[in-house]
Amino acid sequence: MFAATGDRLATSAGSETGRRSDSRSRLPDSIDIRTLSSLKSVDPRAWNDLSGEDDPFVEHAFLSLLEESGSVGRGSGWEPSHVTAWRGKKLVGALPLYLKTHSYGEYIFDWGWADAASRIGIGYYPKLVAMVPVTPVTGRRFLFAQGEDPAPLVSRILDGCFEVADDARTSSLHLLFLSPEEREWVAQDGRLMSRLSFQFHWQNEGYATFEDFVGEFRSSMRKKVRKERRVASEAGLEIHKLQGDQISAEEWRSLEHLYRATCGRKGSYPYLTPEFFEMAPTMLDGTPLVFAARDRGRTVAASLNFAKGRHLYGRYWGATKRHDMLHFELCYYRLIEHAIENRMQRFEAGAQGTHKLRRGLMPVPIHSAHWIRHPVLAQAVADFLPREAASVQQQLRELEYHGPFRRPGGHRGAESRRAGE
């Protein structure tokens, strides 16, 4: 478990800012920190050299698409304030960072913290959030050039975050969906409190086929999956897999229509603007992956997903009307098949959803880190986080036990997941 402690709180909240005086000296030579309100001034190749092999959402193209389409920026509650690290003219590090005026679209919820702030008469907004907007996926938040020493550079980038926090008079700083390595680097820095939550992910344990995968299930659960797939196939729809430039401008328009219709039915705000879908065909490369269900040539349901390297991410789903079990087919089963066929390691299907458990997506720990300016609120959060972490660990154990696999908590990937706690 990785939870907040009073010692870390004293470091993070005991002064007006969380700055450290020694972070620069720990680096081999001087690092210049710059805050950017847009990625337009950054060479895409230089940025992508930092972004790694498995995360399409921190690539220059995706973040720029959000900015240029107006999905983030003025009026959205997500103002880009990216912290970048330079050695001379070379970009060596970055943290996609946003100034926020609400807590929507984050999926690691702090509404209770905002309410507590209101009750004691302090403002909770604006705040700073490091994540890909409205994208609850794990991955690298701190981006580095190859050969850089991560830990001291993390501290230097955090210095930049606290400078932004001071300039904007923000209440707090939140680093969401950190990788396990980043969790350790932030812990070494010592200025933020750690938080534990969980999602449901699918791990490829060397499956040869989809049937090989469900063959690990208990008999009753295996029968349910096969029945769901059979019911979906009986709808009489043609299912097409489209990737990269196979997704036409017309198909992107269909995706935008389905996205807005689904947001309307759920009463959720459509963060992605129409311009996002218009600009996507020219700005995104081969990472988008669509499974589209068509009725006489017209797309009536689809899932929009992203693939890069060994990882697959499910993001959006929409349908013109209800078709039994089609959501499970397009959002889970087809994607698991795709991952197995392409020897991909992990499939993340988004936030929440215990219904994912019975379909073989197992609970995994999710890490975040938080700094709060006001000492009273900071102390209250620090007192809360260990209790929350203990509850989350208990939930992880219970969910693991109630999964669909024949050996409760003992299928191929269980030990590696528990090690991540």
pLDDT higher at 293 or 266: 293
Residue 389 falls within a domain, yes or no?
yes
Residues 191 and 209 grouped into a single domain: no
Work out the pLDDT band at 407, boundaries 50, 70, 90. confident
Residue 58, pLDDT above cutoff 50: yes
Domain assignment present for residue 244? The answer is yes
Tokens in use for 335?
A: 């994607």
Q: Note whether 172 and 47 are same-domain residues.
A: yes
Please report whether residue 277 resides in a domain.
yes
- 261 contacts 267 by C-beta, under 8 angstroms: no
- For β-strands 127-130 and 98-100, DSSP reports them as antiparallel
Strand 298-308's sheet: what is its strand order? 78-80, 98-100, 127-130, 172-178, 362-372, 193-203, 346-348, 311-319, 298-308, 288-295, 238-243
**CATH number of 380's domain:** 3.40.630.30
Query: Is residue 358 situated within a structural domain?
Result: no
pTM over 0.75: yes
Q: Is the pLDDT of residue 187 over 60?
A: yes
Question: Is-contact 21 66, C-beta < 8 A?
Answer: no
If one compares 242 and 413, the residue with the highest pLDDT of the two is: 242
Q: 106 with 26, same domain? A: yes
Whole-number Cα distances in Å, 24 to 124, 151, 161, 173, 394: 30, 12, 14, 20, 40
Please check the confidence at residue 390 and state whether its pLDDT lies above 90: yes
| β-sheet bridge partners, residue 404 | none
DSSP helix/strand/coil, 211: helix
Model confidence over 192-207: pLDDT tens digits? Answer: 999 999 999 999 999 9
pLDDT of 290 higher than 60:
yes
Residues across the chain: 421
CA distance 119 to 340: 50
pLDDT at residue 155 in the model = 96
pLDDT, averaged across the chain: 91
Backbone φ and ψ for 157, nearest 5 degrees, come out as -65, -40
Residues 173 and 320 in one domain: no
Q: Are residues 415 and 397 in the same domain?
A: yes
Is residue 354 included in any domain, yes or no? no
Co-location of 220 and 177 in the same domain: no
Indicate the residue among 286, 316, 344 that finishes a domain: 344
Q: What is the DSSP string of 362-393?
A: EEEEEEEEEEESSHHHHHHHHHHHHHHHHHHH
Same domain (yes/no): 191, 151:
yes
Q: What total of structural domains would you count in the chain? A: 2
In this structure, the number of other CB atoms found within 10 A of the CB of residue 34 comes to 14
Q: Which residues of 160-172 are buried (b: 16+ CB within 10 A; e: fewer)?
A: bbbebbeeeebbb
Question: How far apart are alpha carbons 300 and 293 in whole angstroms?
Answer: 6
356 found inside a domain: no
Confidence class of residue 20 from pLDDT cuts 50, 70 and 90? low
Do 303 and 384 lie in a common domain? Answer: no
Contact 203, 345 (CB under 8 A): yes
Question: What domain range is 415 assigned to?
Answer: 6-200+363-419
Residue 331 lies in a domain: yes
- Quick one: average pLDDT of 306-315? 97
Q: Quick one: 35 and 182 in the same domain?
A: yes
The rounded distance, in Å, linking the Cα atoms of 303 and 295 is: 15
User: Is there a single domain that holds both residue 184 and residue 211?
Assistant: no
Q: Are residues 39 and 176 in the same domain?
A: yes
Assess if residue 355 is contained within a domain: no
CA angle 127, 132, 135 (to 5 degrees): 110
Residues 44 and 190 in one domain: yes
pLDDT band for 412, please (50, 70, 90 cuts). low
**Is the per-residue pLDDT at 19 higher than 90?**
no
Last residue of a domain, one of 301, 317, 344: 344
Percent of the chain with pLDDT over 70: 90
